[in-house]
């Protein structure tokens, strides 16, 4: 499966896929966008939904049947954006095509990056000045993120993207306005562990 999100115009100077450019649809503003799930094998659209406040990324949470969409809030520039939130979606039929909204969005200032961390069974979210770690708690009729406050990391300047550090298991790589950070959440004490430069 492949998960993608899109806003009112291409972000980071990239063009939308050709099939997205051809498809007619409603006019969008900075206040809204679309989150979609495509099948990797044949690029078939499996699910799509409007998400307010400029959605930036969608990430599945394997083992839960849920997905999370991060929106950075209103405004044409990352530094000007206000608000931001995490939208949790749950599967009603055991597959990505049956996702429905699960409760109200969770406020997260300028949410930009998401990363599922299978080692810790957490969903990391990056935005504003920090990173938050969430457990996705599932019931028969709902899904909700519960923050693991002990793993919260601060001290970043507009963190943007998240990736696992494959050379150092357990460490995360975080891009931000100030450069690239390598962080080891258990040893950081709420601060970035190391700054790897621009």
| pLDDT of the chain, 198 residues: tens digit per residue | 444 444 333 333 333 343 333 333 333 445 678 888 899 999 999 998 888 777 888 998 877 888 999 988 765 554 555 678 899 998 888 778 888 888 888 888 888 899 998 888 899 999 887 899 999 888 878 888 889 988 888 878 788 889 998 888 888 899 888 788 888 776 455 555 555 444
Q: How many CB atoms lie within 10 A of CB 15?
A: 8
Enter the tokens of residue 60: 């599945």
Q: Which residues pair with 123 in a beta bridge?
A: 116, 134
Burial of 134 (0-12, 13-18, 19+ CB in 10 A): buried
Entry pTM? 0.73
CA distance 50 to 34: 5
Enter the tokens of residue 65: 């049947």
**Residue (of 128, 89, 113, 110) closest to 164 by Cα position:** 113
Contact 58, 102 (CB under 8 A): no
In angstroms, the Cα distances linking 18 to 14, 23, 43, 114 are 12, 9, 12, 25
Helix or strand holding residue 107 (H, E): strand 106-107
């Amino acid at each position: 499966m492949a998960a993608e999100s899109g806003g009112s115009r291409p972000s980071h100077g990239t063009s939308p896929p050709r099939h997205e450019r051809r498809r007619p649809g409603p006019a969008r503003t900075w206040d809204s966008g679309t989150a979609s799930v495509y099948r990797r094998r044949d690029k078939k659209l499996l699910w799509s939904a409007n998400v307010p406040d400029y959605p930036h990324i969608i990430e599945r949470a394997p083992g839960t049947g849920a997905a999370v969409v991060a929106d950075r809030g209103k405004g044409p520039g990352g530094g000007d954006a206000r608000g931001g939130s995490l939208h949790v979606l749950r599967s009603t039929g055991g597959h990505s095509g049956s996702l429905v909204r699960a409760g109200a969005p969770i406020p997260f200032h300028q949410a930009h990056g998401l990363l599922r961390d299978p080692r810790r069974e957490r969903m990391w979210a990056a935005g504003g000045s920090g990173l938050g770690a969430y457990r996705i708690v599932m019931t028969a009729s709902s899904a909700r993120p519960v923050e693991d406050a002990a793993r919260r990391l601060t001290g970043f300047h507009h963190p943007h993207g998240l990736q696992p550090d494959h050379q150092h298991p357990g460490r995360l790589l975080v891009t931000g306005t100030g450069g690239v950070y390598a962080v080891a959440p258990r040893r950081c004490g709420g601060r970035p562990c190391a700054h790897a430069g621009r």
